[in-house]
Structure 1
Amino acid sequence: MLTLTRDDGYEISDDAGRLDVDRVHHWLSTDAYWARDRPRDVMLRAIEGSWVYGVYRPDDQAQVAFARVVTDGATFAWLCDVYVDRAERGRGLARWLVGAIRDQLAGLRMRRILLATNDAHGLYGPLGFQPVVNPERWMEHFPQAQVTPLTGKGPDGDEPLTVEL
């Protein structure tokens, strides 16, 4: 379990039982450009399949920030859904949270930690994140956008497609 406390009393915890899931879902589904309109059941599945982190206010222990990591716990991690409540921004909570997560993952000797952002390069850059080296190696797939069913044919259209599992 990770628990860190700043001098001003804010606390980071990776205890999933402390999360205010209603608050996290509200933040992400209404205010985060990357997760707007994300259904609650999808958010719950994402939380269940991830390492999760909350930041809690010192006076009332209310959750004020969230992040999650999708990882195998050994070689690769994807940092995502980093969010700080609008009323708590400007206190360095995001930088502290991401730095703590980065340090925890580095201690596990992860080979690569990835994230994606449209507008927070200034937050992540000073923490050691940089553009992907060799982006031509990376590919992505959007399953929901696929409209053509698999034909069962090979690339030339004649040979049967064989998949070995």
Structure 2
Amino acid sequence: MTRTYRFSSDPADIDVHEVVSWLSEEAYWARGRTEETHRAAMAGSRNYGAYDIESGDQGGYARALFTEDAHGLYQRFGFEPLVDAGSWMLRWGPGFGPRPPR
């Protein structure tokens, strides 16, 4: 059976409790973090969700970090500014598709 998903950046669509559960219990890199820590990270990011069209269940979550003043710090960890993207930065790695022009 093929599933169809819709993507949303509407904060009202995010099932915060479910996302906090996924991250604090299942993601090796975030396991054990408090709900307060996750909520603070979500509040400082642009959040995206993927939702099953038929059931409405949230099946995925991602967040993008926006920074006005920490570019030097993030560049030390492999992030690069995007062309004509204001204050957004991006970090490339295997599996992310072709790198956009600089």
After TM superposition, the score normalised by the length of structure 1 is 0.45
Q: Say which structure, 1 or 2, has more relative contact order (CA 8 Å, 6+ apart).
A: 2
Question: Hey, what does 2:44 align to over in structure 1?
Answer: 49
Paired with 1:57 and 1:106, the residues of 2 have a C-alpha distance of 33
Q: Which residue of 1 aligns with 2:34?
A: 39
Deviations 1:100-132, CA, capped at 9 Å, x for gaps = xxxxx76735663126xxxxx5422x2439xxx
CA RMSD of aligned residues (A): 2.8
**Residue equivalent to 2:90:** 113
Structure 1 residue runs of 4 or more that deviate by more than 2 Å after TM superposition = 105-112, 121-124, 126-129
Larger Cα-atom Rg: 1
Aligned residues between the structures: 87
Q: TM-score, normalised by structure 2?
A: 0.69
Q: Does residue 100 of structure 2 align to residue 123 of structure 1? A: no
Corresponding residue SS for 2:53: coil
Q: Equivalents in 2 of 1:54, 1:107: separation in Å? A: 25
Give 2:60's aligned residue. Answer: 65
Distance 1:31 1:127, change over 3 A: farther
Question: Which structure carries more strand by proportion?
Answer: 2
Find the residue that maps to 2:95 and give its secondary structure: helix
- Stretches of structure 1 that go unaligned for 5 or more consecutive residues are 1-7, 79-104, 116-120, 130-165
Q: Deviations over 1:8-59 (max 9, x none)?
A: 6311100111100111011111111110111001111111111000000011
Q: Which has the higher helix share?
A: 1
Paired AA for residue 27 in structure 1: W
Rounded Cα–Cα distance in structure 2 between residues aligned with 1:110 and 1:60: 36
